[in-house]
Amino acid sequence: MIEVLNVVDGDSINILKGLRGATLRRIFGVSLDSHLRSADVSIETDRGTITLWGDIDDLNDWEGDDGQYSVFHICLGIPDLYPNLGAAAIRKADHNSYYFHAGDCITDFKIHRETVRKVVAGKVEWSYTTDIAIALELTNGVLAVSKSSLNQEMLIISFADSFEELDIPPTGGFWFHWNAMDTAFQRSAEWMDREALIGTGGV
């Protein structure tokens, strides 16, 4: 059986840990629109800014096809994701600012981890595990950044009054359109808290 792991790394976990106790100021992004969809989102706090962005990787084409897989990146500061825009990127990012829950303290974080398994004639042929959402727990709500699909770089930003009310729908993926005899795709997901992520090294 082939097992593929596409999750945020230990450095990213440490960046998220560093947000605990910080005060949220705003979210913004070069391509962030009024529907809170974007390939990039920066989270500004009183301790500085982190940026999350979606990317596409073939992950060595482990299926034997030309598959594309959505990848989460997290870094400190604001990376130059749009070098062709230059100074215009900074102006666009400042214009696309939203202040939901500004002033809230970031108390913790969780990651929503999803696994898809391909089952052929009753046997698991491969399993693919990936992180599909990162949620920041706030003093008065929850902020989540989710993948829109298993194979697209677009991210969706959402808010909820409480963690229990946060709705992370299953991500779409090209596998689920297959219709082959004796082949099924199983999906499972779980929220992983900080202790669990640290216990596994974040990988």
Q: What is the pLDDT of residues 38-54, one digit of tens each?
A: 999 999 999 999 999 99
pLDDT at 37: 94
Q: With 70 as the cut, is the pLDDT of residue 201 above it?
A: no
| 159-186 average pLDDT score | 80
Calpha distance 19→106 (Å, rounded): 6
pLDDT at 124: 94
Q: Which residue has the tokens 């974040």?
A: 202
Higher pLDDT, 167 or 64: 167
Q: With 80 as the cut, is the pLDDT of residue 77 above it?
A: yes
Question: Quick one: DSSP state of residue 25?
Answer: E
pLDDT at 165: 87
H helices present in the chain, as ranges: 10-17, 87-95, 194-199
Residues 106, 136: contact at Cβ < 8 Å?
yes
Q: What is the pLDDT of residues 126-166, one digit of tens each?
A: 999 999 999 999 999 999 999 998 888 999 999 998 888 88
Tell me the sheet residues that pair with 26. Answer: 44
Q: What is the pLDDT of residues 19-45, one digit of tens each?
A: 999 999 999 988 889 999 999 999 999
Name the pTM for this structure. Answer: 0.87
| 101-113 average pLDDT score | 96
pLDDT at 51: 95
